[in-house]
Amino acid sequence: MNDNSCIIRGGTVVCADRVLPDHDVVVIDGRIAAIEPAGAREFDAQPDATVGVLPVVDARGAFVAPGLIDIHSDYVENVASPRPSVVMDLNTSLYKADRELVSHGITTIFHSLSVYGAHIFDHKPIRDFGNVSGLIDRVAGLRAGEERDHLIRHRLHMRVELDSVDLYDDIEEFLRSGKVDLVSFMDHTPGQGQYRDLLLFGDTLKGYRDVTDEEVRDIVRMQQESSKMTYAQIAALASIARERGISIASHDDDSAEKLAFMDGLEASISEFPISLDVAREARARGLHTVAGAPNVMLGHSH
């Protein structure tokens, strides 16, 4: 037995398929050994040769739930760049994120760092590729001490926008480096995906920038005419990801055709399908589906 042994006493235990009020969780050497009604076995009062005296964590009146794994969060961007013109020390930013996220029950975070061609909404300096590269390196560096120096596990989710053509070689190098755990392919071109409704796109853009209707139309045209990665390039990156054991996700799926395209790349996750019908089609294809908390609350994509 080591220091990772205890009894979490008398809480409401949230399991995968049920909720158990007034139960104990017995943890031995960092693993759950039993979940049973409170006080069923007084390990803490009756030591024996195999278990010893277990410390008790009083969870009465509280919920006991598994740690959350957040596979898509750009929270660290806001920590590292709290003002439009400022980028804080990246190591300090990750340290602060570590302490903040664990307070929300997150025990594994996939920092979702974006690789973009054009920044069409607000320009975050942390999304400049130099800063993204720096964060990727630092997230990778956290792994060696994650069970000793950090409160949670840090992983990397690289979000690749299809207009990042000029950064293709850099993306390929990062995929080969062993620093990426999840890669998603995104296309935020107005007229499809999340922004099928151009009026919605315009309203969203105006929420970030002071632009006129004419300027919105110019941005729509430029985005629709901008260069995108070819199928061969996307397929090559996906192949590298599979070889390296990196999970592949699609993003903002809006049709069965797009799902078929991502299925061909052996994607395993459909992030934020636009409609329930598309989500069901994704599940029928064996893809995991992911919805953000705001989407769940709204009942649809924003």
The model's pLDDT over 191-216, given as tens digits with 9 standing for 90+, comes to 777 788 888 888 888 887 888 888 88
pLDDT bin (cut points 50, 70, 90) of residue 300 is: low
Q: Which two tokens stand for residue 244?
A: 């390296």
Q: Which two tokens stand for residue 100?
A: 């903040």
Q: Which two tokens stand for residue 70?
A: 């957040």
Determine the pLDDT at residue 99: 94
- Provide the CATH topology of domain 68-298: TIM Barrel (3.20.20)
Of 177, 302, 192, give the one whose Cα is nearest residue 246. 177
Determine the pLDDT at residue 48: 41
pLDDT bin (cut points 50, 70, 90) of residue 47 is: very low
- Per-residue pLDDT, averaged over 4-16, amounts to 92
pLDDT tens for each residue of 53-87: 788 999 999 999 999 999 998 899 999 998 878 89
The domain locations on the chain are 6-64, 68-298
Residue 282 in contact with residue 259, Cβ under 8 Å? yes
Asked if the model's pLDDT at residue 45 lies above 60, the reply is no
- Provide the CATH topology of domain 6-64: Urease, subunit C; domain 1 (2.30.40)
Sign of CA dihedral 68, 73, 79, 82: negative
Q: Is 200 left (phi over 0), alpha (psi -120 to 50) or beta?
A: alpha
Higher pLDDT, 199 or 20: 20
